Structure 1
Amino acid sequence: MADFSKFGYPSREWQEHVAKYGPAPEASIGKVPALAIQRSMNAGREEASAKQMKIEGLSSKVDIQTILIHARDNFLIPTRIYKKTGTSYSDRPIYVFYHGGGFVYGTLDSEDAACSRIVVAMDIIVFHISYRHAPRHPFPEAHNDALDAFNWIMENGDAFGGDLGNVVVGGVSAGANLACHVVLARNAALARDYESDEGAIIKGLVLVTPWLVVNKEKISYDEFATEHNASRVQCSNAPVVSSKVLDFFVNCMGEEVHNNLDVDPDVGLVSGNKLRGLPSTTIMVAGSDPLRDEALLFARNLHENDVPVHVHVFPGLPHGFRRFDDLPSSRRWDELVVEGIKWSLSDDTMTYGSELSLNVV
């Protein structure tokens, strides 16, 4: 029986952060309109990213270009491309990135620092896709944008110096859900002998504190030692992202998230035959996160279906802890994203052993 509850208790690192800075601020859910919360959160994220760009000197190290990609309904999807300054780019690996924010928060500007760090750390081109957000754009618009933009990059990424034979896809939280959706859709397309982007090869998947099951009523607790120890229960009042916050996000997504038969938002529950053939996958998990267990169970399912998996667990830290720059683990977060991309691009992605191994950070 599964029991990952030992990872859920606040770590000394988190306790010291709270003692110094106070509890993590809560979103004003139920007090102000959803769009007002969205504007406030986006402004804060953009300010934090701009600050880090300046502090870390990233602006002078990275060339940034913004393009617009046509969606299926002719909406223009803002997409930002990051390359290391002063480098002649041709045949560089591609990292396609989807930001987090519960399908509600996030902008192009809010991810400049995160994407720039990757480019500075390794020889790669990053494409950041800023999909449409709820509540103005309910489900499945974000998922459609994610796939439409990805397909365009797979047909045109070489024009920007990218190597379509070396592609890694990744995301944070809701963005990890989109990354999974895209890779699963491509796998299904290849199974149908779809060859319009025959030269494109996805080498890896990087899922950071992923939100893999949107419809919580579909979660079965039969696999757990006790329901109380399951993360959705144990961490229901966790800081940063609690059950209340998750419910807010789902409500913003609209009724189709429960009823749509064409797009499955619960990528963490897909059957084993759909997982076979997926690329090597890195999964980073926060221990004090309601979403912890579905990520770990997904990792186990990947492993059992012969997908190479690296799992890194940060015990006692909440979902999205990277926003707190003072945490030593925030720097390790950045390093593991880069390590995950490099691992997928390497030839050393074999799966060893019958049991899934967890790296406790």
Structure 2
Amino acid sequence: MPLDPDLEGFLELAEMGRLSGKSQPMHALSVNQARQEFELSSQILDPSPPASLTITTLHIPTRDGAKIEARLYRSAHHVQPSQPSILYFHGGGYVVGSLDSHDSICRRLALSGRQAVLAPAYRLAPEHPFPTAVNDALDCANWLAREAHTLNLDPDNVSVAGDSAGATLATVLAISAVQAPEHLALKPKTQLLFYPVADTQRTRPSHLRYAEGYLLESETLQWFYRHYTPDVEQRGDWRTSPLLANNLGPLAPAYVSLAEYDPLYDEGLEYAQLLRDTGTDVTLLTQRGLTHDFLRMSGISADIGGIYAAVEGWLEVHTA
């Protein structure tokens, strides 16, 4: 399917900015510059997210004594007792991204009131390379399992979710819940995986097909990986490359949503097939005409509202 016409226009403007020298690809920037540019992009991609929510700032302790900020999103109009929730990890290649950059996603996921959304600000590389993000994700999940009742959340009805690198953190929790339950008190009800990073070791045809010009660039992926896993052997760890996980059995039901025009597309398909082959209930969708990061694009494409509605409908069935 051709690119979404509104998204295509946005990408053409971005390319004009690059050709004129007004902008550069992320991998040509310093880490601080890249973070600033990524934050600014949120104001363009989704400038008017829903406002009618209650947002509470929390602080979650980690195993090394640090505390990381988190936000709990709830509909201002409908909060049932012992509410189901989504533990959501933002994308950004483990290097960029924040609670602010993905605020609109969390708002839209929580808007119906059927579930709350807890979004932690796990620590980023290169200041905090692998496995800090993984450990932070595990610590946040265990904290949620302990504190759910005090937050009026149901500890037995938590979906783990994320986009891009955040989706990879969600896969780590879903796998750990089955393979290492002694390290994870939370048992995910479902997993929501949006354009996940599934293999940091190998390149695939989609990395070449969509290497440039489709928002996320293949060279930027390698820039992320160099910061997060400076030791290349770490890229063979299943916690960075879940396609390499061994002895997988059935996991929590998975909703896997991929972008057609994305360097990560092929590995996302492979990971969905791996889950199916090991007995996991998988719903796989390809969002035609869209690129990586589509969840943040409600201000660009009219199709994004339908994507959120489909997620909501799936959750209603699978978390009932």
Shorter-chain-normalised TM-score: which range?
A: 0.7 to 0.9
Question: What is the 5 A alignment of 1:156-305?
Answer: 156-190=147-181, 194=182, 197=185, 200-216=186-202, 230-256=205-231, 258-259=233-234, 264-271=239-246, 273-274=247-248, 276-305=249-278
Aligned to 2:33: 36
| CA 344–269 in structure 1, closer or farther in 2 if over 3 Å, else same | farther
The answer on whether the counterparts of 1:140 and 1:257 sit within 8 Å (CA) in structure 2 is no
- Alignment deviations for residues 99-135 of structure 1 (CA, whole Å, 9 cap, x no partner): 1111112122222221121222241111011111122
Distance of 1:38 and 1:123 partners within structure 2: 32
The 3-state SS of whatever aligns with 1:210 is: coil
TM-score (norm 1): 0.79
Query: Is 1:14 the equivalent of 2:4?
Result: yes
- Alignment deviations for residues 182-202 of structure 1 (CA, whole Å, 9 cap, x no partner): 121221223xxx3984xx542
One-letter code aligned to 2:258? V
Query: Is 1:136 the equivalent of 2:124?
Result: no
TM-score (norm 2): 0.88
Distance of 1:106 and 1:309 partners within structure 2: 27
Distance of 1:142 and 1:124 partners within structure 2: 24
Distance of 1:241 and 1:97 partners within structure 2: 21
Aligned to 2:47: 51
Report the Cα offset of residue 68 of structure 1: 0.7
One-letter code aligned to 2:259? A
One-letter code aligned to 1:41? F
Question: What is the 5 A alignment of 1:79-118?
Answer: 79-118=70-109
The answer on whether the counterparts of 2:46 and 2:300 sit within 8 Å (CA) in structure 1 is no
| CA 307–261 in structure 1, closer or farther in 2 if over 3 Å, else same | closer
The answer on whether the counterparts of 1:140 and 1:263 sit within 8 Å (CA) in structure 2 is no
Distance of 1:50 and 1:317 partners within structure 2: 15
Between the aligned residues of both structures, percent identity stands at 25
Query: Is 1:126 the equivalent of 2:117?
Result: yes
Report the Cα offset of residue 92 of structure 1: 0.9
Report the Cα offset of residue 260 of structure 1: 7.5
| CA 21–262 in structure 1, closer or farther in 2 if over 3 Å, else same | closer
One-letter code aligned to 2:251? L
Report the Cα offset of residue 236 of structure 1: 2.2
One-letter code aligned to 2:308? D
- Alignment deviations for residues 280-333 of structure 1 (CA, whole Å, 9 cap, x no partner): 000001111111111111111211222111011123422113443231322223
Aligned to 2:317: 343
Distance of 1:312 and 1:52 partners within structure 2: 26
- Alignment deviations for residues 196-224 of structure 1 (CA, whole Å, 9 cap, x no partner): 84xx54210000111111222xx6x7xxx
Please give the root-mean-square deviation of Cα atoms over the aligned residues, in Å: 2.5
**Which stretch of structure 1 is more off in the superposition, 11-20 or 284-293?**
11-20
**1:334 pairs with one of 297, 303, 308:** 308
Structure 1: state its 5+ residue gaps.
1-10, 222-229, 347-361
**Which stretch of structure 1 is more off in the superposition, 114-123 or 167-176?**
114-123
Structure 2: state its 5+ residue gaps.
19-23
Report the Cα offset of residue 339 of structure 1: 2.8
Distance of 1:337 and 1:248 partners within structure 2: 31
Distance of 2:190 and 2:198 partners within structure 1: 17
Report the Cα offset of residue 52 of structure 1: 1.8
